[in-house]
Structure 1
Amino acid sequence: MTRGSAAPDHAGHDHAGDDHAGDDHAAHGHAGQGHGGHDHNHGANANARQLTLALLLTGGFLFVEVVYAFISGSLALLSDAGHMLTDAAALALSLLALWVGARPADARRTFGYRRAEVLAAALNAGALFAVGIYVLVEAARRFAQPVEVQSTPMLIVAVLGLIVNLISARILAGGQGESLNMRSAYLEVMGDLLGSVAVIVGALLIRFTGWTWVDPLLGAGIGLWVLPRTWALLRASVNVLLEGVPRGLDLDALRADLRALSGVDDVHDLHVWSVTGGVNNLTAHLVAPTADDSLLHEVEEVAARFGIAHSTVQIEGPDAHAGGGAALHP
């Protein structure tokens, strides 16, 4: 953690009009961050190749599945295609995260371009949530008015989909232990693999029993399985865009730990937000009689415990605002 001459402005955190005494100190920390791009790019090329192959397989088969869903009249197959669309979107976002994350910050984008991933996630989540609602409505309609389903094309396409998902899962398995990004992509494909198994079971039941109600039942089941995950993605994306406190981070506990540091009398103007998923930032004002490198190091350690990668801390004397300076509000 190094000292600077002033605490920088961050988007969404306006300190205009604050009157700070001349003995205030600003400190910046990068808890746990590697510099020079080595840590960020480690294994990125291999992961990009894995994601690209999985995306080509999933996206190519998605087109086939949609066409045959309409040919066969299978809602379960169409619902599984919607689920495969979520997988393709997740793979594309994971690949985008690697590409965009490699772009350096510039004079107009001081945090870089990583938030493009969040914007894409919000748009995809909204569209996919609408698809899930449509599948549920269509399932209810088909329970009331059954539709003839051609089980043979439904079965063939579902088996092909299972094979594609098995190949994609095998491709991604090698990198899923390296990062949360790859792990989420791997879990998406595994979820679609289970959806393919459900469609195969449905096709076999319809073929040998004639129970056409199985198709809307499976379609509704897959839709209900997709909707909560899509809603969670949408909620997380909106939280990042609104610069909300990252999910799972206890702001009160963080404030208490900072106040408990030796020499710290108070903590105010504490802000924690994410530029993108998993990249957390902190700004805070600490009131302390004296400031030295040991205190700054302790602040950095506290931030690291809460998963905060970048921190900007301004340390003020107890009388920093005595005599009529503009008040700072917590």
Structure 2
Amino acid sequence: MSSKRAIWLAFFLNLSYAIIEFIAGGVFGSSAVLADSVHDLGDAIAIGLSAFLETISNREEDSHYTLGYKRFSLLGALITAVILMTGSALVILENIRKLFHPQPINDEGILWLGIIAVSINVLASLVVRKGKTKNESILSLHFLEDTLGWIAVILMAIILRFTDWYILDPLLSLVISFFILSKAIPRFWSTLKIFLDAVPEGLNSEKLEQDLLSLENVKSINQLSIWSMDGLENNAIVHLCLEDLTRMEECKEAIRSQLRQSGVHNITIEVDTSPMNHNQHKRCLEDIGGIKGHEH
């Protein structure tokens, strides 16, 4: 399944459940479930926005976006991550208060609602978990959050059928929220760095430059720029000088091979074809040095 179809399906599953949860909350008279339905509706809107941006990201480059639209997928991932972190932070703040004032819940109704919720979130997670984009990765974390949350609710509902330990509700919510934040923040930061054109993770630009300089016929590297548009495909621009311009194509192929081995596949190579050869360049530097020495 393509990324955009997977995310659209996840959106409709999440939106459907938000509606079911809202109705169930009214039937059970549970303000907590009603509040969570609003939270899930916000999540559904975030997923819908991500799906929309993922669709845009699949467009080919044109006169408006000459590098293509892949960055829109990253934008969707960033927005979803921000909503996920904000939601987790709000849950933490709300449940710290509930630790001191735990409230009774309808355990039987919540139990069945939790089973339905876990089924829907597991299905949505299976849809996006094999995706490779940053957007799908963030959405997969979102569904993990919901699944873990509702599993905790199911366990809590079972325990509350035999006890009145209502403090379990805020405790479990806090544990899950902190767990999700520990996962969401690094992913958000990783996506943000890609969005800001940082060198992709796993690539050492200094080492790569030294590897290129060690290639036969490479005289100097004037520029080595490495970035990724979507976190999947790495791009590079190399500007260099050669010892022997007659072996340019051979050297270019060696550079491409070296970069591909390092995980860079979209490569642009520019060679300085100045007519000044190595000996002329050396004599020019000696002349400049002689002039400076004469001035002194």
TM-score (norm 1): 0.70
Partner of 1:93: 50
Matching residue of 1:152: 108
Give yes or no for contact 1:135–1:220 (8 Å, CA) kept in 2: yes
| Alignment of 1:123 onto 2:79 | yes
Runs of 5+ unmatched residues, structure 1: 1-42, 324-330
The one-letter code sitting in structure 2 at the alignment partner of 1:113 is Y
CA deviation after TM superposition for structure 1 residue 84, in Å: 9.5
Which letter does structure 2 place at the counterpart of 1:193? T
Residue 168 of structure 1 aligns with which residue? Answer: 124
Match of 1:241 in 2: 195
CA distance in 1, matches of 2:102, 2:53: 42
Q: Of the two, which has the highest radius of gyration?
A: 2
Aligned partner (choices 214, 217, 230) of residue 260 of structure 1: 214
Q: Distance in 2 between matches of 1:275 and 1:202?
A: 44
C-alpha deviation, 1:134, in angstroms: 1.0
Q: Answer whether contact 2:84 2:142 (CA < 8 A) is retained.
A: no
Matched-pair contact (CA < 8 Å) for 1:281–1:311:
yes
Which amino acid letter does the alignment assign opposite residue 131 of structure 1?
Answer: G
Write the mapping of 1:279-290 to structure 2, written as runs, cut at 5 A. Answer: 279-290=233-244
Q: Distance in 2 between matches of 1:168 and 1:129?
A: 20
CA separation of 1:88 and 1:82: change in aligned 2, threshold 3 A: same
- CA deviations 1:37-89 (Å, max 9, x no partner) are xxxxxx64xx65454333311221134336656953448x94x9868976885
3-state DSSP class of the match of 2:68?
Answer: coil
Shift of residue 191 of structure 1? Answer: 5.7
1:192-225: CA deviations, max 9, x gaps? 4343322210111123211101100111122112
Residue 180 of structure 1 pairs with residue 138 of structure 2: no
Conserved? CA contact 2:225–2:237, under 8 Å = yes
- Tell me by how many angstroms 1:92 deviates: 6.3
> What secondary structure, in the 3-state scheme, does the structure 1 residue paired with 2:225 have?
strand
Residue 179 of structure 2, aligned match among 213, 220, 225: 225
Distance 1:226 1:87, change over 3 A: farther
One of 64, 72, 90 as aligned partner of 2:30: 72
Cα distance in 2, alignment partners of residues 231 and 87 from structure 1: 20
Structure 2 unaligned residues grouped into runs of 5+ = 286-296
- Aligned counterpart in structure 2 of residue 295 of structure 1, from 251, 267, 278: 251
Residue deviations 1:220-271 (CA, integer Å, cap 9, x gap):
1221122123212321232122211112222222112111111113223221
Whether the aligned pair in 2 keeps the contact of 1:69 and 1:154 (CA below 8 Å) is: no
Query: Which residue of structure 2 lines up, in the alignment, with residue 138 of structure 1?
Result: 94
Which SS does the other structure have where 2:217 is aligned?
Answer: coil
Superposition CA RMSD, Å: 3.3
Asked if the contact 1:285/1:315 (under 8 Å) is kept, the reply is yes
Cα distance in 1 for residues equivalent to 2:5 and 2:80? 23
- C-alpha displacement at 1:144, in angstroms? 1.8
Kindly tell me: are residues 170 and 105 of structure 1, through their superposed partners in 2, closer, same or farther at Cα, counting changes over 3 Å?
closer
Higher helix share: 2
Kindly tell me the number of residue pairs found equivalent between the two proteins.
271
Q: 1:247 to 1:91 in 2, by over 3 A?
A: farther
Instruction: Name the % identity.
Output: 23
Contact 1:73 1:149 in 2 (8 A): no
Q: Which residue type is aligned with residue 64 of structure 2?
A: R
Aligned residue among 203, 223, 230 for 2:157: 203
Q: Between the two structures, name the one with larger relative contact order (CA 8 Å, sep ≥ 6).
A: 1
Q: How far apart in 1 are the matches of 2:53 and 2:258?
A: 31
Q: Output the amino acid matched with 1:180.
A: K
